[in-house]
Amino acid sequence: MSQVPQPQSSTFAFPSPLLKLTIGGRLAELQGGTVSCLSVFALEGLAIVCANPVFPISEPDAGILVFEVFDQDSTGLRRRLGQIEQYVLDPRKPAFWGRVTRIEPCQSTHPGLSLLRHKPTLRVEITIHNVDQSTKN
Q: Do 83 and 127 contact (CB within 8 A), yes or no?
A: no
pLDDT bin (cut points 50, 70, 90) of residue 130 is confident
Burial class (CB in 10 A: 0-12, 13-18, 19+), 69: buried
Higher pLDDT, 125 or 118: 125
pLDDT over 70, % of the chain: 69
The pTM score is 0.70
Phi, psi for 2 (deg, rounded to 5):
-85, 140
46-97 pLDDT, tens digit per residue, is 889 999 889 998 876 678 999 999 999 888 898 999 999 999 888 888 888 9
Query: What's the pLDDT at 114?
Result: 73
